[in-house]
Structure 1
Amino acid sequence: MKKILIVDDDEYIRNLVTSLLMKEGFKTIAAENGLVALDLLQKELCDLAIIDIMMPVMNGYLLTTEIRKEYDIPIILLTAKSQIDDKEKGFESGTDDYLIKPFEPKELIFRVNALLRRYGKSGEANIKVGTLYINKKSYEVKINNKTFMLPLKEFELLTFLATHPNQVFSRGHLIEKIWGHDFEGDERTIDVHIKRLRERFADIDKDFTIKTIRGVGYSLEVL
């Protein structure tokens, strides 16, 4: 089930949009301003954001810019502004779409579904498992807001395990997925990379572990 972030300082609008989306089968989380929204995004992986422009603390333009720095999700700016200059500013900040208040409920749903289709499998560039956040587009790994830039094969191995939490994979399966069918090295290569990943995260407060399943392989397990 896809999750949508709604950001608007108007409680009525937040509740209205939440109700519309939930009736269509979406999960929702809501924030009253941009700072709260950014905090929520650190904790929960969302598939799309609907953002009001005119908000205190942080306006929608700035929030859109900040989201674009870290997350690869579609954004709809929802606003009473209809001037072409305002729309231009919205698109320059990184929005994917622009909807003017008042709006038809069906139009909002059409636009949400269209953006999710356009982005393909929603959330495919982002993985979140507990405190572990992986951005496949920027090759960044974050744990409790600390950022790691890993060597490519370590990144790919961690990403594969995190995409399938609590599942056990043999060394041979991991070699095939990460190194490919033509890899001529030893399966113990996996052991070396797993050891390096564990060492990198050894002193970090985290809620996951890469567990060795004796005689089988490895699993990334959520504690």
Structure 2
Amino acid sequence: MTAPKRIPQAERRQKILDAARQIFDETGNIDVGLRAISARTGQTTGAIYNLFSGKDAIYAALLQESLSNLHQHVAAAAQSKPDPRSALRAAATAFFLYYHQNLFEQRLGLYQFEDGKKTGLGQDADKILNDLLAQTIAEFEACFAQLSPIAVSPLSPVSDAKDLSHALTAALIGIGSMTTLRRDQSLNTSGQKLVDTTLNAFLSGFQ
């Protein structure tokens, strides 16, 4: 009798992540138990535990995928433009649209902060995720670093490229949250218009 074909570990791992993403997306509930994932994949909970230490590890892996995709989107947008000013606009818009057009990714990114509580995912996972986000922020920083500041601008004497890239990221996250809650519509504006206005303010300090 021929032994059943053994599925490679990487393939089994990806099936678990794909199933978790599908369930999260269908139910709107990211905090889903391993039994639901087990039923979707046909793998026992024990088999899942062999690959992931628990729900948080699956969540961390999904967030790692999401942040990697975010960086690819932002980097590609920046590289498609010939100068740092237009590259910054393209990169910031790509950041906003990545979450605006993929609300699941936004919920995934903000899940740790629901109910006003920030929870860590372990030192190793947190470092990986922080490094991935830093790669995206570095795309903004590279654009700012190539711009020539206007001496009389209130931004240029006190803010370096790193500070500005962090501030821009925070602004984009805020705009994304506002549009998800439809607060932009209540203010008779749009998320994209807010992004454009924010970029105009940041770029006003540069030639």
TM-score by length of 2: 0.25
Task: Determine which structure has the larger strand proportion and give its number.
Answer: 1
Query: Which structure carries more relative contact order (alpha carbon 8 Å, separation 6+)?
Result: 2
Structure ranking higher in helix proportion: 2
